[in-house]
Structure 1
Amino acid sequence: MWSCGKTRSHVCRESRAEDSGHSPTSCEENEKQEPSSPKQGDFSDPVYKEIAVANGTINRMNSDQLRAKCAELKLDTRGVKDVLKKRLKSYYKRQKLMHSAAANGNIDVYFDYICVVDYEATCEENNPPDYLHEIIEFPMVLIDTHTLEIVDSFQEYVKPVVNPQLSEFCVKLTGITQKTVDEAETFHQVLKRAVSWLQEKELGTKYKYTFLTDGSWDMGKFLHTQCKLSCIRYPLFARKWINIRKSYGNFYKVPRTQTKLICMLENLGMQYDGRPHCGLDDSCNIARIAIHMLKDGCELRVNECLHSGEPRSVPISAPIEGAPAPQTPKKRN
């Protein structure tokens, strides 16, 4: 499996107020939304009765029994009790439904690739209400949903224009130097190269894909604000995404306070790898969570979109569709 290397320069993300940050010590609120499996068919089908019986047995197991059963099935034995229960339930459900789907030729994967994005932006220790956050790190981590591996990554730094001088808080928080952003190119140039990277992967043309973020801010706040500042039309391919905090909370049935990045990792029996507030390292850790959820049987679906400049929830009844092929960014009039 490809492993994320550590960057030598680090950039910052704002300390997001009201539990809406990417920091391993802060948490964004996630809306409750029940997941559903597409094409599940009639729940009176005997296969669902078998699943219900298996779920009842799992619910009666203690932690040691759950780990023993996971080990027997060669599943990951890490995680808290509720995670282990969900893992086993998902395993049995997936096995039963896969056998049923295989008989009807219905096995499919929503997306061939999931692209994890976790921008870093300029910030102050106490951001004023009218503060304009500018993206200063643009990272992407690509997950192959068939092999369940990280297969590639993209990372570039961006020169801020409105607030070209990084705050002392930002420097202290992340270790970024002013020299790093001073030598970087503008957002328009970096976005063009990011689009080229996505195009080289044939995403949206040969392969189905979508974006995944840790919360609503990356697309709904940072990218939207940056495009306005750079007089660029908001890219169509970034209008819908997976908010992993919502997906995690719904799948493992945990409160939103347990959907912080560090909490998700710890509940899955993992530790943060790298340096917090480094966009590439954050993206890699988010990707690790996504892969773990896919292995546990989670059907990661698009659950948020940008509507009138604001992030909105996508209903679970919405049709499943991948992001459109990325196009070269266009200037706004």
Structure 2
Amino acid sequence: MSSSFQSTKSTPFVENSKLVKSREVKTPPKYPSFAKRRTGQKMSQQFEYLLILDFEATCQENSKGPILPVQEIIEFPVVQLSTSDWKEIRRFHQYVRPTESSKLTSFCTSLTGIIQEMVDEKPTLSDVLEEFNKWLKEDSRLENNNFAFVTCGDWDLKVALPNEAKFKNIPIPDYFHQWINVKKAYAEHTNDFARGMMQLLKIYKLQHQGRHHSGIDDVANICEVVRCLGKDGHNYRITSNDQPSTTSSNRRRFREAVAPKMNK
């Protein structure tokens, strides 16, 4: 038995124009409104000097909650870099004796490598701040508008120092009230996000130096990242006044960029 079929000319499938239009949505940037990347170009920097800072503080396991009555700085390291050649000029490093929780927890020692004997006979925070201010003034090239602090996250100068100083009624010099978060600087330069120092080192194929969560070692590693960004054409600016984006994904990235020490 045979059968015959009527031949019909096929017509190309055309998607509904409304559906096509609904999918024409541009992917939002990974971090809010940043300048176009200028890879490899030598930039005229806003600041002549960058002071890389990374505090370590008293702490205990998360399961035990925050350390009370206040978290105290126990290591205060700063390295001064010149943005003209990205070389280290000098450094300040002092361990600090806590007065509220004078006995370091085993968790704190395990994390930072700081043992009790390293802080017992050291000056308190108020004395260290005075020492640092004298150290700062020893370099006559430093002026109010030609240097800025750089941190990896906002915790050091937004949380740690202000909280302890407020609790102990210690005045904070004005120069600590603004800073550059290197994680935000990286996001601005690349329109991408890095969770912390270790990821930034990996991105730039840099070898981690020393002990993670040793303040002075972390400063050395952050310096390497700062150099890479600067040599790659990033012009450092103050980020401490930045506000999070209104989109939920960017709010999450902003929270991670300002997250405390564990994301360093």
TM-score (norm 1): 0.60
Match of 1:187 in 2: 125
Change (3 A) 1:208 1:140: same
My pick for the range that moved more, 293-302 or 196-205, is 196-205
Partners of 1:130 and 1:286 in 2: CA distance: 26
1:146-198 deviation line (CA, Å, top 9, x unaligned): 01112211100000011000011111223321111111111111110111111
1:191-216 deviation line (CA, Å, top 9, x unaligned): 10111111112354387101110001
Match of 2:216 in 1: 280
Match of 1:36 in 2: 35
Partners of 1:170 and 1:162 in 2: CA distance: 15
Change (3 A) 1:265 1:207: same
Q: Secondary structure at the match of 2:119?
A: helix
Please state if 1:138 is matched with 2:76.
Answer: yes
Match of 2:52 in 1: 116
Q: How does 1:132-211 map to 2 (within 5 A)?
A: 132-202=70-140, 204-205=142-143, 208-211=146-149
Match of 1:80 in 2: none
Please state if 1:302 is matched with 2:238.
Answer: yes
Partners of 2:141 and 2:99 in 1: CA distance: 31
| Equivalent residue for 1:228, pick from 166, 178, 186 | 166
- 5+ residue gaps, structure 1: 1-30, 38-85, 99-107, 306-311, 316-333
Q: Secondary structure at the match of 1:155?
A: strand
Partners of 2:67 and 2:99 in 1: CA distance: 16
Q: Secondary structure at the match of 2:189?
A: helix
Change (3 A) 1:120 1:203: farther
Partners of 2:50 and 2:136 in 1: CA distance: 11
Q: Secondary structure at the match of 1:90?
A: coil
Match of 1:101 in 2: none
Match of 2:65 in 1: 128
Partners of 1:304 and 1:217 in 2: CA distance: 11
Identity %: 32
- The residue identity in structure 1 corresponding to 2:186 is Y
How much does 1:314 deviate?
9.8
Q: How many residues align?
A: 214
CA contact (8 A) 2:75 2:94 kept: yes
How much does 1:221 deviate?
0.7
Match of 1:217 in 2: 155
CA contact (8 A) 1:302 1:314 kept: no
Change (3 A) 1:206 1:128: closer
Q: Secondary structure at the match of 1:115?
A: strand
- The residue identity in structure 1 corresponding to 2:32 is Q
- 5+ residue gaps, structure 2: 1-29, 246-264
How much does 1:32 deviate?
2.9
Q: Secondary structure at the match of 1:304?
A: coil
